[in-house]
Amino acid sequence: MSAKKAFGVIGLGVMGQNLALNIERNGYSVVGYDIEPAKLEASRERFAGRDMLVAGTLAEFLGQLVLPRRILMVVPAGKPVDTVIDELRPGLARGDLLIDGGNSLFEETRRRMKALEGTGILYIGTGVSGGEEGALRGPSIMPGGNPEGWPLVKPVFQKIAAKGPDGLPCCEWIGPDGAGHFVKMIHNGIEYADMQMIGEAFDLMERALGLTPAAMQVIFDDWNKGELNSYLIEITGKIMGKQDPETGRPLVHLILDTAEQKGTGKWASGVALDLGVPAQTIAIAVFARMMSALKSERVAASKVLRGSDVRFEGDAASFVEMVRQALYASKICSYAQGFQLLRAADAEYGWRLPFGTIASLWRAGCIIRAQFLSKIQDAYQRNPALPSLLLDPYFAGAIHRTSPAWRKVIATAVEVGVPVPAFSSALAYYDSYRSAVLPANLLQAQRDFFGAHTYRRTDREGIQHTQWEN
């Protein structure tokens, strides 16, 4: 084993350990460090027999790395990242590379890069998706920051990344500044929407049709063979089939219906407001998790507030197929919103984001990996300047084909009283986007009436104001 190690990892939780093991398995010696003794000990056990070292101090960690140092930080977003940077800086040299592999807010990455300007220390903010298993076997990796740092880490990241169906690594340079973490944030926003929509499909089939989880396992497994093929559909089928060993009941029925969040979906929704992008399906998925957190209130309300007395009376198999189509149409809209966010950020920050490449990075390794993403890649190959996925011939055709079922499913959900906020917001987004005229003319008249905010006319140029009351 070499005296000096090729790559450093700070933060030896499960994600950090797994990424370190992945790096070593692909031919790069590793030194790791963590401030928690328990994690150091656990890492020593997992790293034993490999070309890996666990340092007991930060000074030892830095001394064990070849120059220029390549250091991947896998620590919680926020202050912990700043703390690690502050502790490392005195021991770093010009040309050393720091990589933030956590879920940092892209604006924080931009701030940290600015703080390091003039030091010669390179900085890359890297989105990593795929969970614990992906970190070990091959994640999707989205690096952005100092372009000078990319050649230092490119061979490592592209070796450890997941490989797409064409064998290409799901890792490519995203762009300068906070581009990498921004793209990861949008990935997570789309993930929120995907999960919420699958949950609504499950809820509809269970409450409107009375299907059991065992029956839905067959349905989700079947859906995974077609255009909905994806990691999230695949694991949903497995979840439906899992029984609690103690009670024999479906495990999903024993899990409390309160969903947690780590903030990236909320960030994506906030950025949508800042950039003026109508990403309501992503936002409503965040609100749905917030609604789920009101468990005690919902239980109390269920005893007071009346719902619908209507019961579904149609053909169950036909309705299941309509739900599948509604899920696919809604999914198209949520991705369209995500890529509109990417386009708006690209215009705002001048990153020159490679939209087709971004879609290709998500084809494997990450949580939203899906067959569907190759269609998005194709769309941007056909038209790199595509303003919306909805305008691509493939996606426009898919929406036209599934629209009747989509509308029927939402109407039925309203009739029977099953909430489908993501399905509904996606359809509202589509209907708004395809409308040449919206009621904002009335809204603008109201603003001018009470606040003299002015308006533009359709038949002449210039800013107008009316004295609405004589």
Residues carrying an active site annotation = 184, 191
CB 61 within 8 A of CB 174: no
CA distances from 152 to 69, 142, 145, 343, 435 (A): 9, 15, 13, 28, 49
In sequence order, which residues have a C-beta less than 8 Å from that of residue 104 and are 6 or more positions away?
77, 78, 81, 125, 181
**The two structure tokens encoding residue 416:** 């029977």
Rounded-to-integer distance, Cα 265 and Cα 192, Å: 6
Burial of 461 (0-12, 13-18, 19+ CB in 10 A): exposed
Question: Is the CB of residue 284 less than 8 Å from the CB of residue 420?
Answer: no
Residue 174, token pair as written in the block: 């995203």
Q: Output the six-digit token pair for 439.
A: 């009621």
Using CA atoms, how far apart are residues 111 and 251, in angstroms rounded to an integer? 44
C-alpha distances (whole Å) from 177 to each of 6, 341, 346 are 25, 17, 11
Residue pair 466/453 in contact (Cβ under 8 Å)? The answer is no
Listed residue (135, 189, 166, 187) closest to 19, CA to CA:
135
Asked if 124 and 97 count as a contact pair (C-beta separation under 8 A), the reply is yes
Taking a C-beta distance cutoff of 8 angstroms, is the pair 305, 299 a contact?
no
Q: Which conformational region is residue 315 in: left (phi greater than 0), alpha (psi within -120 to 50 degrees), or beta?
A: beta
Cα dihedral sign, 239-240-243-247: positive
Nearest CA among 185, 188, 207 for reference residue 196: 188
Query: Would you tell me how many other CB atoms lie within 10 Å of the CB of residue 129?
Result: 25
Helices (H), 245-365: 264-275, 280-292, 295-302, 316-349, 355-361
Q: Which residue matches tokens 């439906």?
A: 240
Other CB atoms within 10 A of residue 97 CB: 23
